[in-house]
A = this chain, B = another copy of it.
Amino acid sequence: MLICKVLKPLVSTNRIADFQHKHLQVVLDGSTQKVAVDAVGAIPGDWVICVGSSAAREAAGSKSYPSDLTIVGIIDHWDPDAAKEMAAGNPAANPAKPPGGAG
């Protein structure tokens, strides 16, 4: 699943009927903007988990829903700067092992 930031709702009046009235959100995946079906009620600024592939369909509500990217969860706490340091291999930035913490 992808870690994305919600930017804003997307309005598309002319769309296929199968999309129904579910909310669409513009999300930021790295530096690329994508559109995700919102299954959890996220708001702009939220860091969310987006599922893709065929799993996005069932996550959006039914096996026949035509989504390839669905917001399936809101991350409780996400620090993008710390995440970048962890990705760069800086162990001091790892919140999974805080001094005296339970992880």
A72 engages B77 (CB within 8 Å): no
Tell me whether A12 and B96 are in contact in the complex, defined as CB-CB below 8 angstroms, given that A68-B55, A103-B44 are known contacts: no
Q: Give A1-57 interface residues, CB cut-off 8 Å to B.
A: 1-3, 7-16, 18-19, 24, 26, 28, 30-36, 39-41, 44, 49, 51-57
A1 engages B33 (CB within 8 Å): no
B77 engages A53 (CB within 8 Å): no
CB distance from A53 to the nearest CB of B (A): 4
Query: How many chain copies does the complex carry?
Result: 5
A7, A55, A65, A73 — most chain B CB neighbours (10 Å) = A55
A59 engages B16 (CB within 8 Å): yes
Specify which chain B residues have a CB less than 8 angstroms from the CB of A88 in the assembled complex. Answer: 31
B44 engages A3 (CB within 8 Å): no
